[in-house]
Each structure stands twice: as C-alpha cells, then as structure tokens.
A and B are shown apart, each in its own frame.
Chain A
Amino acid sequence: MTIAAQLRDVSQVFGDFTAVDGINLDIASQKLTTLLGPSGCGKTTTLRMIAGYSQPTSGSILINGKDATRLPPEKRNLGMVFQSYALFPHMSVADNVGYGLKLRKVAGPERRKRVTEALDMVGLGHLAERRPKALSGGQQQRVALARAIAIRPDILLLDEPLSNLDARLRLQMRAEIRRIQQETGLTVVLVTHDQEEALEMSDDMVLMRSGKIMQQGSPQDVFQRPANRFVAEFMGYENFFATPEHAQATVRPENLQLIGRGETLNSGAHNLPAVITQIAYRGVDVMVRATATDSTGTAVDLLASVRADSGATSRLRLEPGAEITAAIRPADLVPLAE
C-alpha cells in the first residue's frame, strides 16, 4: 500500500489556540479516508494544510514522498471541493470544469473531451452551458466535484461536501462519491461531522477531537472497538459503566440483554441489576431506559433496544418500575481506554 500523503508532527497554533496538536497521519493511496469529528476538532484545518491554504506552525507534510510543507496550493496538483462549492459565477459549467485544464495548457479538443468526461461521471453532461446560479444545490455540488476531478489530482480533498444538501440528496451523493472514487481509483480525503456518512463511505476513518487524533482505523474497527469514551459516544454508543476488569466499558443498546432479576445468562456474562424507568414502543423494537448499579456501586443510565418479537418482551414485565437484570455477553462488551 503506497502512501499518498504524510503528516509528521503537524501543529497549527493561532495565538493561544491550538487547532491541530502534533498529529501524525498517513493517507493511503487510492483509498477514501475520512477526517471525522465535532466542529472545532481541527479536521478542516488539517485538510486546508494538506491543500496548502495554510502552513503548519510546526511539522512537515509530504505529498507523494516529497516535502510539500512550504509549497503554495497552486503547485500541489490537489483537487479541492469546498463546502460552499465556490463555483465561478461568471463562467459556464463547462468553463468551470475546464478551468484547471486550461491552466495546465491542455489543448482545446482534448480539454473539451476531458470536461465532458468529468461531467458525465457526475451525470451532468447536459448542463455544460448553464451558469452556476441556474443550478440546484445538488447540481452545483456535482459541478464542483467534476471541476476537481477533471484535473486528475494526486489527492481529492472534500470539505463537508454534503452538509448543505437535503437529507435525500445527501444519501444519494454519499453513494455517488464512493462510486466515483472506486471507479477512478482516486485518493480521497473527506471531512465530515456525520458518523453515518463516514461509516458508509470510508476505507479509513480518522476521528479527531481538540486537534488530536482519537482513533484511526477501518469503519468496522472504529465502530465495533471504539478506543475510548469520546469515540464511543461519537459513534452513537450509550451505556457507560465500570466492570470488575475494566474501569470504563460500553455496550451497544442492541446487545444489552434484558432478563429477570435473579436470572443469569450463562457463559460468563456480566450482570447489572436495574430498574426500568421508561419504555417506548417503536414498531420494530422497544426502547427501554433503566437505571442500574455498576460494579463500583455507581448509578448508571442504560439504554436497551429490544426487538418487539423477542422473548424478553413476552417473558418480562416491561414497564416503568419493573426490576430486571441487564446482562452483557463477553463478546459484546467493549472495554474503553481512560
């Protein structure tokens, strides 16, 4: 696996504020890497440093093995799609897409061919002569994408490209971008705050918080084995408690087994006595909230998702005030680092 870009001890400090704190990151070639995190975590700052719009305060950035730390953006041959799309309003769609090619002195016929190629790839071949302001948000986004792809960049950088789209388009474009990346074999770095998006699209996920990398790995890794509480919470985990072996552990609501008080699951399951506080019937499942006591004696809030057709719903009295036991199989228990 080749490395398209490397960040070595890269920091970005603005006065008192450290936006990016000495991170080390390898971007694998021909893979889609997401920088994921809450706003202010430094993901966009990192992206902009890779693109060259800001210089790291310390550390170095290598692109294709060569030191690019001080290289200005126009010399990096990277394609960037901005959150606001940043289409040139005074040019047609075709001229927008062809802008980078013109700069690279690609001859007329060849340029037109590549512009058509790029537009066809995003499904907008028929809108080549339109002006950006005549396009919908989704169409503008795709033009921005085509414009970045047309120059055949070494890395394609996307800054929250889907956050301005409505829910339906967002889902559509997730699949589109993933498809384009796989078809072209482009190296893509995508910034997002949406963990669903990251899970669906990534080969590699990088979770950031306060300028540091909290966890990096495949979607399966990150989702099934979050390294710490922040990552777990960000990936939608509820239920945080202590066990005799681990100071911090978690379990997904679907994996929290509800059994009667006094019962136990076999196979060394971990048991927490609990009292139900709230029930919500949601059709496919039933959401059960309960208060339990963990191994250190601390009260913890638990959330369990029980399938409506499971044995638990028929066997147990699922109503507020009922005393139950919440049991977790060893395989489902996720220990967390401090």
Chain B
Amino acid sequence: MTIRTVLRLPAGQPENPKMTPPRTVQPTTGRRPVLGALAIIGYMVMIVPILFVVAAAFSGGDSLQFPPESFSLKWFAAAASYKPFMTALVSSAQLAVLATVLALIIGVPAALALQRSTFAGKGWVQGLFLSPLIVPELVVGLALYQQLIAGLGTATFTALLVGHTALLIPYAVRVTGASLALADPFVEEAARGLGARPFKVFTSVTLPLLRPGIVSAALLSFVTSFNNVPLSLLLQGRTFNTLPVSMLDYVQKSYDPMIAAMSTLILAATIVFAFIAERTVGFATIFGGINK
C-alpha cells in the first residue's frame, strides 16, 4: 500500500513545467525552528529504522540484539545462500518482469486511446482501468485465491500473474498517459500532413514520444510488483513463493539477523536501481509523480 497509493493523486494536468511559479528566496530550516524540528522528527521516523536494520545485519551473534556482541559478515553469506530466499528472489523477479510487460501491453494502447479519442462513457472506461487502485490489495488477493485457485484450480503462478498485472495496469495507463499529455498534440497531425499513414505515425512519432513514460511506468511497475505483500500473500504455493512473503514467513519462525542481512542486500540493490531511475527520467518524476 505504498507506491500504488501515490498514483491515487487526482487526475489532472501533470504539473506543467512552464507554469511553475518563480522561486523567491525563502528562509529555510534555520530560521523556522518549529517546522524544522518537526521535519527532523519526520526524517528520523522514516530513516532510523532502516539504519538499524543495516546495523543489525552486521552482527556476529546468533540472535537479533542490539548492540550486537560482535561484527561479522556471516549473515550476508547465510542470506545469499539460503535456498528459499534465493528461489523466491528469482520468482519475484520473473513475476515482476512478466507482469510489467503484460501491464504495458495492455496499458499503453489504453492510454493512447484514452488520450487521443472521445466517445461516450470514456470516463467510465478510464475509471475501470484505474479501478485496481481503489480496491484493497488483500481483497484482490483473496478474490483471486477464491475464484481462480480454489474455484478453477488455476496454477499459483497464473493467479499471481493475473493479480499483479491488474495491479500494475493503472500505472501503465496513468504514467504513459501523462507523458503523452505533455507532448505537443499536433506532432501526430504534422506527421499525417507530411504523408504518414496512421500506423507509420504511431511507430515513427507516437512511440518515441511515449518512451520516457513507458520507461517510468516499467520501473514503477517492477518495483511495485517485486515488493508486493498483501496481494501475493494468499497466492503463495508450494512451487512458487515471492520474496517479501518468504521473508515475512521467516520472521515468524526465527529471530536471527538473517532478515536484516537480506534486507540490507535488497537495500543495496534498490539504491542501484534508484540511480538507474534517476539517470533515465528522473527519480522524483517516476516515484513521486513530481514534475520538476
């Protein structure tokens, strides 16, 4: 319930960079003690727990305690060689990639149609494509479990794929739609006027314009799917497990720093991921929906 809820921001014009008001010089934290203090508390709440996770991962002891009795990298080795985690890691990655691809295949044409055409009931259709955002993920997971797995005997992976794809479609639609809205709507007409048939217009003009939006949507979708817990919770099977749920299970059973180590590994990978995101379209744009 984190990134996905970011996109519940009301539909509207993406902030037009040309309309950003000019910045005047404003005093910052130093001269606003109350706001500054609140801000510091806020950052501490967000960051400190994560720091402790990282610190705990380096402990040399056998149980989670702080401060640790010794320092060691052994739990990293343990996490990296723990079969259930590694299998789940691969599974989560496969699921995320596949779901992202499917969501884009469905969402990009939909965004195109919604932006570039008018018809009665368009609002309803748009609402339908965004509807997975307003149903709690746990409910969706349960529904799919009930209807697909218990009801139709579908394979675990298939049910997960359906659920994750549905979850990611609103991203594909919203994010690519936003990048389309930012482009000059007349470039497609210009291409037509110069003699390009509709399909050629799409491949030579529309698709390249969509690329930043598609990349953003892909990154956002991958992360959302990979980290997902509630939807995937009820859809785990003997043959297929996702990483966050495996970690959740592990916490119930054991109180050692294995999770801390695994989390730290994930954190490192995520930092790399964030850098990639920053180099492509811009970190704040993708994950915050903030156009600077």
Contact = CB atoms under 8 A, between A and B. Distances in A.
Interface stretch (A83-91, A120-128, A196-204, A285-293): A83-91
12 contacts: A74-B194, A79-B194, A80-B190, A82-B190, A86-B186, A86-B187, A87-B187, A87-B190, A88-B190, A99-B191, A99-B196, A151-B194
- For the complex of A and B, 8 pairs with smallest distance between CB atoms: A100-B194, A86-B186, A86-B190, A90-B208, A103-B195, A80-B193, A73-B192, A82-B186
A103 B194 contact: yes
A66 interface: no
B86 interface: no
Interface residues of B, number: 19
A74 B183 CA distance: 21
Given A99-B194, A103-B195, A147-B194, A86 B200 contact: no
B205 A88 contact: yes
A190 interface: no
Contacts of B192: 53, 72-74
Contacts of A51: 193
Contacts of B265: none
Contacts of A151: 194-195
B184 A103 contact: no
A160 B196 CA distance: 23
B197 interface: yes
A104 interface: yes
B189 A104 contact: no
A75 B194 CA distance: 9
Interface in A49-90: 51-53, 72-80, 82, 84-90
B196 A53 contact: no
A82 B187 CA distance: 9
Given A90-B208, A90-B209, A99-B191, A74 B197 contact: yes
Contacts of B196: 74, 99, 103
Contacts of A72: 192
Interface of B: 183-184, 186-187, 189-197, 200, 204-205, 208-209, 211
A148 B194 CA distance: 7
A4 to B, nearest CB: 16
A192 B181 CA distance: 27
Contacts of B183: 89
B190 A74 contact: no
A256 to B, nearest CB: 46
A147 B193 CA distance: 11
Contacts of A74: 192-197
Contacts of B187: 86-89
B144 to A, nearest CB: 40
B218 to A, nearest CB: 18
A80 B208 CA distance: 22
Contacts of A99: 191, 194, 196, 204
Contacts of A147: 190, 194
Given A75-B195, A89-B209, A103-B196, 12 more contacts: A73-B189, A74-B194, A74-B195, A80-B189, A86-B184, A86-B187, A87-B187, A88-B191, A88-B208, A89-B184, A90-B209, A103-B200
A231 to B, nearest CB: 31
Interface string A153-192: 0000000000000000000000000000000000000000
A41 B184 CA distance: 24
Contacts of A90: 208-209, 211
A53 B186 CA distance: 11
Contacts of B190: 80, 82, 86-88, 147
Contact of B195 (A77, A82, A85, A87): A77
A99 B194 CA distance: 7
B193 A78 contact: yes
A73 B209 contact: no
A260 B15 CA distance: 64
Nearest to B188: A86
Nearest to A100: B194
B17 to A, nearest CB: 12
A76 B192 CA distance: 10
B193 A79 contact: yes
Contacts of B191: 88, 99
Q: Which of B186, B197, B211 has the most CB of A within 10 A?
A: B186
Central interface residue in B189, B197, B200, B209, by most chain A CB within 10 Å: B189
A73 B184 CA distance: 18
A151 B184 CA distance: 22
Nearest to A79: B193
Contacts of A103: 194-196, 200
Contacts of B208: 88, 90
A5 B200 CA distance: 28
Contacts of A78: 193
B112 to A, nearest CB: 17
Contacts of A85: 184
A84 B189 contact: no
A84 B184 contact: yes
Contacts of A52: 193
Contacts of B184: 84-86, 89
A240 to B, nearest CB: 40
Contacts of A53: 189, 192-193
